[in-house]
Structure 1
Amino acid sequence: MQKPLAGLSRRNLVRELTAGVTLLAIAIPLNIGYAQIAGLPATAGLYALIVPTIVYALVVSSRQLVASPDAAAAALVASSIGGLATAGSADYATLAMAQAIICGILFVLLAVLKLGFLANFLSKPILVGFVGGLALDILVSQVAKMLGVSIDSGGEFVDKVVGLVTGLGTANLVSLAISVVSVAILLLGRRFLPVVPWALVVLVLATIVVVIADLDDQAGVDVLGEVPAGPPAITWPVIDWSTWLMLIPSAIALTLVTTAEGLLVSRSYGEKRGYPTNPNRDLFAFGLGNIAAGASASFSVGSSTSRTAAMDQAGSRTQLPSLVLALGTLLLLLFGTALLADIPSPAIGAIVGVAILPLLGLRDFVRLWRQDRFEFVVGAACFLVTLFIGAIPGILVSFVLALVNLAKRAANPAIDVLEAGGEPTDSLLDEAPSGAVTAPGVIVIRLAAPLFFANGTVFGDAVKRAVTAAEGAGHGPVRHLVVDMEAVTDVDITGAESFDALLTWLDQRNVALAFSRVRPDAHRRLADLGLLGERPVYETNRAAIAALAAPTP
Structure 2
Amino acid sequence: MNIKKIIPILEWLPNYNMSLFRGDLVAGLTVGIILIPQGIAYALIAGLPPIYGLYCALMPQVMYAVFGSSRQVSVGPVAMDSLIVATGVSTLALSGSDSYISIAILLALMVGVIQFIMGVFSLGFIVNFLSKPVITGFTSAVALIIGFNQFRNLFGVDFVQSDQLQYVVEDICLQLSSFNYNTTIIGLISVIVIVIFRKIDKRIPNALIVVVLGILIMKYFGKSFNDVSIVKDIPSGLPVFSFPEFDLDLIKELLPIAFTLVMVGYLETISIGKSLEAKQDEYRIRPNQELIALGIGNMVGSLFKAYPTTSSFSRSAINEESGAKTGMSALISVLMVVLTLLFLTPLFYHLPKTVLAAIIIVAVFKLVNFKEAAFLWKANHLDFWLMLATFIATLLLGIEFGIIVGVGLSLIVLIYRTSRPYVTELGKVPDSDFYRNKNRFEEVIIENDVLVFRFDAQIFYANSSYFRDKLDEMVIEKGKTLKLIVLDAESINRVDSTGVEMLKERIKFYQKKEILFYFAGVKGPVRDDFFRSGILDIIGINHFFMKSNQAVKFYKTGDRKEQEKYAKYIHQAYK
SS of aligned partner of 1:273: coil
Q: Does 1:259 align with 2:266?
A: yes
Counterpart position of 2:437: 425
Q: CA deviation at 1:126?
A: 0.7
For 2:443 and 2:533, how far apart are their aligned partners in 1?
A: 31
For 1:436 and 1:480, how far apart are their aligned partners in 2?
A: 18
SS of aligned partner of 1:450: coil
For 1:146 and 1:323, how far apart are their aligned partners in 2?
A: 33
Q: Does 1:148 align with 2:177?
A: no
- Select the residue among 266, 272, 279 that pairs with 1:272: 279
For 1:154 and 1:541, how far apart are their aligned partners in 2?
A: 61
Change in CA separation of 1:271 and 1:436 when aligned onto 2, cut-off 3 Å: closer
Counterpart position of 1:503: 507
Instruction: Map 1:333-482 to 2 at 5 A.
Output: 333-420=341-428, 421-427=433-439, 441-471=449-479, 477-482=481-486
Counterpart position of 1:513: 517
Counterpart position of 1:241: 248
Shifted more, 405-414 versus 116-125: the winner is 405-414
Letter paired with 1:226: D
Contact 1:48–1:293 (Cα < 8 Å) also in 2:
yes
How many residues in Structure 1 have an aligned counterpart in Structure 2? 543
Change in CA separation of 1:442 and 1:45 when aligned onto 2, cut-off 3 Å: same
Counterpart position of 1:211: 219
For 1:290 and 1:89, how far apart are their aligned partners in 2?
A: 21
Q: CA deviation at 1:180?
A: 1.5
Letter paired with 1:538: F
Shifted more, 323-332 versus 11-20: the winner is 11-20
SS of aligned partner of 2:125: helix
Letter paired with 1:485: A
For 2:469 and 2:186, how far apart are their aligned partners in 1?
A: 67
Change in CA separation of 1:151 and 1:446 when aligned onto 2, cut-off 3 Å: same
Q: Does 1:3 align with 2:15?
A: no
Letter paired with 2:31: L
For 1:159 and 1:439, how far apart are their aligned partners in 2?
A: 64
- Select the residue among 466, 478, 491 that pairs with 2:495: 491
For 1:155 and 1:377, how far apart are their aligned partners in 2?
A: 22
Counterpart position of 1:33: 41
Contact 1:87–1:154 (Cα < 8 Å) also in 2:
no
Contact 1:435–1:467 (Cα < 8 Å) also in 2:
no
Letter paired with 1:527: F
For 1:148 and 1:154, how far apart are their aligned partners in 2?
A: 17
Q: CA deviation at 1:290?
A: 0.8
Gaps of 5+ in 1: none
Letter paired with 1:363: K
Contact 1:126–1:379 (Cα < 8 Å) also in 2:
yes
Counterpart position of 1:220: 227
Percent sequence identity is 28
1:158-181 deviations in Å (ceiling 9; x for gaps): 332233222223211111110121
Shifted more, 163-172 versus 48-57: the winner is 163-172
For 1:166 and 1:513, how far apart are their aligned partners in 2?
A: 72
Letter paired with 1:26: I
Change in CA separation of 1:495 and 1:255 when aligned onto 2, cut-off 3 Å: same
1:211-235 deviations in Å (ceiling 9; x for gaps): 11115x8531001121111001112
For 1:435 and 1:508, how far apart are their aligned partners in 2?
A: 33
For 1:483 and 1:435, how far apart are their aligned partners in 2?
A: 21
- Select the residue among 108, 113, 125 that pairs with 1:105: 113
Letter paired with 1:122: L
For 1:69 and 1:334, how far apart are their aligned partners in 2?
A: 19
1:65-115 deviations in Å (ceiling 9; x for gaps): 111221111111111111111111111111111111111111111111111
For 1:371 and 1:287, how far apart are their aligned partners in 2?
A: 37
Q: CA deviation at 1:510?
A: 1.6
Contact 1:437–1:470 (Cα < 8 Å) also in 2:
no
SS of aligned partner of 2:517: strand
Q: CA deviation at 1:125?
A: 1.2
SS of aligned partner of 2:473: helix
For 1:119 and 1:396, how far apart are their aligned partners in 2?
A: 13
Letter paired with 2:466: V
Counterpart position of 1:191: 199
Q: Does 1:229 align with 2:241?
A: no
SS of aligned partner of 1:419: strand
For 1:515 and 1:248, how far apart are their aligned partners in 2?
A: 50
Q: Does 1:538 align with 2:545?
A: yes
Letter paired with 1:3: I
Contact 1:440–1:549 (Cα < 8 Å) also in 2:
no
Shifted more, 457-466 versus 149-158: the winner is 149-158
For 2:16 and 2:478, how far apart are their aligned partners in 1?
A: 67
Counterpart position of 1:14: 22
SS of aligned partner of 1:329: helix
Q: CA deviation at 1:440?
A: 6.8
Contact 2:94–2:100 (Cα < 8 Å) also in 1:
yes
Shifted more, 343-352 versus 537-546: the winner is 537-546
Q: CA deviation at 1:442?
A: 2.9
Contact 1:76–1:134 (Cα < 8 Å) also in 2:
no
Deviating beyond 6 angstroms after TM superposition, the runs of 4 or more aligned structure 1 residues are 433-437
Change in CA separation of 1:510 and 1:261 when aligned onto 2, cut-off 3 Å: farther
